[in-house]
Amino acid sequence: MLLTGFVPQKTLKNSICCRGTALHSGQPVTLTFHPAAADAGIVFRRSDRNGAALPADWRYVRESALCTTVDDGDGLSVATIEHVMAALAGLEIDNVVIELDGPEAPVMDGSAAPFIFLLECAGIVTQHAPRRAIEVLKPVRVGDGEKSAALLPGDSLTINLTIDFAARAIRRQTMRWQFDPESFRREIAPARTFGFLEEIDALRAAGLARGGGMDNAIVIGDGRVLNRDGLRFPDEFVRHKVLDAVGDLYLAGAPIIGTFTGFRSGHAVNRQLLEALFAERSAFRLVPMQSIDDCGAEWQDQLRASA
């Protein structure tokens, strides 16, 4: 039973599905969100693999080009999960089963907005279990001079992100954003992924971006945006990188309380940062979504034991 004063976990009221194209394989895929029990977490299930399941967990993330992929090391994987994870993080959904009939999530329009729409149509309900968060207690850093990321103590999830591209349509863009579900819906979720026209042939030869196009990505050629309708935001590029960071960080298994700072960081660096955080036990603690100091000693012990 949920203790008074604690933020409850959330799941979906109903199942809901969509069908789209996978960004990299170019194959059609159906994705269905299902409700899940309290404390079940976020789980991917492959209906084309007899219902085999994979947790949405940083420990299952493997190196993959241009996307985030979870893999059990035995041939079961789900790719391009970052936009789905960002939508779940943005709506503060803790428990859900994500069923797919293929090895890659659909790209939809290249943003998290279609997934936000689906999840809200399914309905979001609270559960009789307290929501927990990962509180950053001391700085953790990874990267080198070209790409880097850090997690620092803070009162809520705040993202400070800088990108730097040679293309004149992008150049250097910086965004500071503090997590808020409504702000996520309006300011972050609609930002689309992007790619460069001159790289497309090489990417497709490598089996990537075969489902990409101007209907699901911002395409840049000769230093300018080629999409007829232009950008959704003047700084849509850095907003999408914030979206990616929100999705990747949710693979921690719970929302993070702290400040993320990234410089030209991407999926690989984000994963390295979570690995570094959890490698140092004194760098974090698991807390209910209310100050742990407001809890009784027995509840504090239970939370620390489960961390």
Instruction: Give dist(CA 30, CA 42) in Å, integer.
Output: 18
Give me 229's structure tokens: 């309708």
Closest CA to 134 of 149, 113, 153: 153
88 CA to centre of own chain: 8
Closest CA to 98 of 192, 29, 23: 29
Query: In whole angstroms, how far apart are CA 215 and each of 102, 119, 143, 230, 306?
Result: 21, 22, 33, 12, 44
* Catalytic (active site) residue 267: yes
The beta-strand segments (E) located in 131-267 are 132-136, 140-143, 148-152, 158-164, 172-178, 194-196, 218-221, 224-225, 256-257, 259-263
Helix axes 267-279, 236-249, angle to 10 degrees: 40
Give me 246's structure tokens: 């929100």
Instruction: Give dist(CA 215, CA 109) in Å, integer.
Output: 6
**Phi/psi zone of residue 75: left (φ > 0), alpha (ψ -120 to 50 degrees), beta?**
left
Give me 128's structure tokens: 């009789």
Instruction: Give dist(CA 195, CA 214) in Å, integer.
Output: 10
262 CA to centre of own chain: 15
Strand pairing of 124-130 and 96-100? unpaired
Which residues are known to be catalytic?
Answer: 267
